[in-house]
Amino acid sequence: MYKTLLVILFSFVLTPVFGQKGTDTFKLYFDLNVSTLNAKMENKIDLLIYNDKIINGSSVIIVGYADFLGSEKHNRALSMKRAASVKAYLEKNGVNAEDVKFCEGKGQIDRSGVGGKDGVPTDRRVDIVVDNRVKKLHPELPLSGKKDTARKPTSANINDITHLEKGSVLLLKDVYFPPDRHTIMAQSNATLEQLYKVLDANPNLAISIEGHVCCIQNTPDALDIETNEPSLSVNRAREIYNYLLNKGIDPQRLTYKGFGRSRPVVAVEMNDGDREKNRRVEVRIVSNR
């Protein structure tokens, strides 16, 4: 009975959407028997939001799938969990919950006679179907959760962070690192202490610490000579994350990411000022209630 109802539901809800002019479908792939997003897929969603592929006011449909490995019951539950994890990540990063019109797991994809004991990796996925035509009809609508601040982070004082909306981005001024290193310089202490005090005084405030670098090409991130790994933006964000943890901030209120040079404030760096704008650490408001 459940399967029959599900088929009918998908017929009415999905058929008019997939393949429609004005819609886009984005595929997110999962590891075997895993329902949580890996770092690569999280970054893909981040870029979709940043590049306005998913904007507030659009209609979003999320559909999870599994391959044929395992029982039908298990695969249906797994596909639903995958869809739910994508929905949660979108909302965490500022996509309006009311824009998600449908979120469901379809279960396993029938691959009779196809695939071996390892299954079909491309069937372990979630499809995000986005209809952005409403934005074209109503350009006054705000962009996605980053509002218009993802490219132009606000330079407001840290004490004003409690007044910023979810998804807003605050530039951490006066936070310094030695060239090509992630160790925080002593000149940063005043800013970080101020950030700690604001978080400590506002227990409902949750943030994402986001690192960015400049001056690189053809590589996702800059080399950190302290670790000899190309992960400088990640390591700098994590260093601030660890600072706040060591001060006693609940880890559930903190996340960190590094974006390399994928989100420049200045697209073409012509001088030291441009490079300084791109070489930065920001704080994104995840929750402010």
- If one compares 109 and 127, the residue with the highest pLDDT of the two is 127
pLDDT digits (tens, 9 = 90+) for 254-271: 999 998 888 888 778 888
Q: Which of 171, 145, 167 is nearest to 157 (CA)?
A: 171
Distance, CA of 231 to CA of 17 (rounded, Å):
39
Give pLDDT, residue 21: 56
Distance, CA of 287 to CA of 205 (rounded, Å):
5
Structure tokens at 155: 């330079």
Q: How confident is the model at residue 161 (pLDDT cuts 50, 70, 90)?
A: confident
Q: Is the separation of the CB atoms in 253 and 205 below 8 Å?
A: yes
Cα dihedral 212, 216, 217, 222 in deg (nearest 10): -70
Q: Tell me the mean pLDDT in the region 45-70.
A: 85
Question: Has domain 2-137 been given CATH number 3.30.1330.60?
Answer: yes
Residues 6+ apart with CB under 8 A from 236: 177, 182, 211, 258, 281
Give pLDDT, residue 249: 96
Q: How confident is the model at residue 26 (pLDDT cuts 50, 70, 90)?
A: very high
Structure tokens at 286: 């995840």
**Backbone dihedral angles phi then psi of residue 245, each to the nearest 5 degrees:** -60, -45
- What does the chain come to in residues? 289
Sequence ranges of the domains in the chain: 2-137, 158-288
Give pLDDT, residue 24: 87
pLDDT digits (tens, 9 = 90+) for 125-152: 999 999 866 544 444 344 444 333 344 5
Give pLDDT, residue 132: 67
CATH C-level class of 158-288: alpha beta
Q: pTM here?
A: 0.56
